[in-house]
Amino acid sequence: MDLTPDQAADARAALSARTVTKDTGCHEWTGCITSGGYGMIRLLKKRILTHRLSYLLNRGKLLPGMIVMHLCDNPPCVNPKHLELGTHTQNMRQAALMGTIGRPTLGEFARPLVYTFRVLDCEKEAWQAKAKEEGFKNLSEWMRHHLNAEVQRVLSGP
């Protein structure tokens, strides 16, 4: 993706506006996220993962066949110092060495709910239609219903 100087400035501003710095040095994206916890933003009518955008803006072009790896193992992090290019194999090796393959970043209970509600925010219109289709007055009512159902499921045990 090639950006004009104005587009790059707008993209930097958009990243900065929805990023918080943590004690770990991670710059965490607080906007829309994927189900895997990676930040996502719409840019030039396309969706792009925020860590890839951060790498592009701060470190240079994304090379074909390469992925942007998180050295910090924190999917919403967009700190360019925590990102580097690598192959999928290198990324899996790194994850295996860190013991993070398959490890959730949030508690088993909280993670799916946080992700669901942040993903809902990305595509609010579609989810509002689904809520109406299921007989709810609005998206907030639908979310409360599903949150309560999940809490009851967890509290009732296996």
Cα separation, 4 vs 7, in Å, equals 5
d(CA 152, CA 156): 6
With bands split at pLDDT 50, 70 and 90, how would you rate the model's confidence at 26?
A: very high
Q: Is the pLDDT of residue 113 over 80?
A: no
Mean pLDDT of the chain: 80
pLDDT at residue 84 greater than cutoff 50: yes
Which of 127, 152, 151, 150 is closest to 140 using CA atoms? 127
pLDDT, average across residues 96-118: 56
pLDDT of residue 33: 86
The full set of domains in the chain, from first to last, is: 5-98 (3.90.75.20), 110-156 (no CATH)
pLDDT above 70 covers what percent of the chain? 77
User: Does residue 72 contact residue 24 with C-beta atoms inside 8 Å?
Assistant: yes
Banded pLDDT at 107 (limits 50, 70, 90): very low
Can you give the pLDDT at residue 6? 92
Alpha helix ranges (H) inside the chain: 5-17, 50-58, 88-98, 110-122, 124-133, 139-156
- Reading the block at residue 82, the tokens are 């925590």
**Residue percentage of the chain with pLDDT more than 90:** 30
Can you give the pTM of this predicted structure?
0.65
Q: What is the pLDDT of residue 106?
A: 43
Residue 50 has pLDDT above 90, yes or no: yes
